[in-house]
Structure 1
């Protein structure tokens, strides 16, 4: 990610408001789903790519991890992580994901939550992750769903006469590459890849794909956010668990 949007003060202020809301997408849908795929972390060494405010890093420690390294390119995010989620066995590093080959460590798990769609060179990232993983090491990550990232002009919906969403429009799906979307009146760069590219890159790098989840809201989530019903039409994220082939 060449530009660090999370260090744009106006953008970060608006983004923080969403994360401070207990009933945000991450808390209601993405985190419960990806947490179910976590392996036993007792005594393990974990790398968190795009660690943000460090909530996941401290959770890994609480689950028994021996050491966690969290990297993020955002100074704003790392300031929060250090102030909120410091621990003697957590190391936070300001680093772009393109630079992880510089880390002199081997990991039992590489983890990333909703960050990989910001990475331009996905092939390089997956190759570097494989080199950092121990034998039988696990890669567990979520990213924006290709259905979400595909439309070059952003997501559009067909609605009924009352304004209820009927279905999302899908376009540009096989055109891999950069997308620019407006979020909080700020241009944000992301990268779209069709599912075949995401999975085949893992296969080429000798990963066995263990599980794929397209998370949807449960009854609790819908009771807190009725608008989350949109996830049944077009999932916002996808979660992939893969392991180094023997």
Structure 2
């Protein structure tokens, strides 16, 4: 596990947490992709115990509470995000058990306890995917559901330039890369889809569904060439995000 990356990313997320409050939260899975309302990946949450990996500002946990979940638990690397989530949930009359910890570390979450574990655009921040998936498996009951979303691996490989899409890097290269996010240094790792699926299998999961789609409204709209990271032009040509639903065997 790369402790230096975890320290850097924590410091950066503590700095910019306020600016991300409420962003990319259920029922949304990501930018320009179908929502949970369209996909129906979650089971009935009535009286279910749920855990959010990378809970951010707590908006996804509130969504789960509104759907009838009996217990709300969250985990986040950023202490600032945890503070924001705790206050937001309290303001909305929800009590949650929140842990400030990297997802790669066993932090005292109960074993074989949760019905559903999910991660909305956070799982890709892990510096150790295999350990993270094994941790998630340990938290879930048998037949428990794990759902997560993240940037599609092609996003790191393709760029819009000169009115066309061009490969800038190999899809096959799985390396750490650093960049500035809202002025703060962060480091993540690009991974192939097969890496996510094989790592899930090794952790004892059965993949039930892989979603690589663009929102229907985007596909039906006119989307002229446009530079940028998340753009309708890109989304009409390849998926910007992916979602996986898996079940613990």
TM-score bucket (shorter structure) = 0.7 to 0.9
User: How far off is 1:182 after superposition?
Assistant: 2.8
The counterpart of 2:74, out of the listed 70, 74, 79, is 70
Matched, 1:117 2:124: yes
| Counterpart in the other structure of 2:162 | 159
TM, length-normalised to structure 2: 0.80
Relative to structure 1, is the Cα distance of residues 186 and 212 closer, same or farther in structure 2, using a 3 angstrom cutoff?
same
Residue pair 2:101, 2:107 contacting (<8 A) in 1 also: no
In structure 2, C-alpha distance between the alignment counterparts of 1:83 and 1:31, rounded to whole Å = 26
Q: Which has the higher helix share?
A: 1
Residue pair 2:29, 2:149 contacting (<8 A) in 1 also: no
User: How far off is 1:228 after superposition?
Assistant: 2.3
| Counterpart in the other structure of 1:127 | 134
User: How far off is 1:73 after superposition?
Assistant: 1.6
User: How far off is 1:36 after superposition?
Assistant: 2.4
User: How far off is 1:103 after superposition?
Assistant: 1.1
Provide the aligned length of Structure 1 versus Structure 2: 230
Structure 2: 5+ residue runs without aligned partners?
A: 1-5, 225-230
Residue pair 2:34, 2:215 contacting (<8 A) in 1 also: no
Cα deviation digits, residues 173-201 of structure 1 (max 9, x gap): 22223121233233321111111111111
| Counterpart in the other structure of 1:92 | 98
- RMSD of aligned alpha carbons: 2.9
Relative to structure 1, is the Cα distance of residues 173 and 221 closer, same or farther in structure 2, using a 3 angstrom cutoff?
closer
TM, length-normalised to structure 1: 0.81
User: How far off is 1:13 after superposition?
Assistant: 5.5
Cα deviation digits, residues 210-235 of structure 1 (max 9, x gap): 11112312327977x98424212232
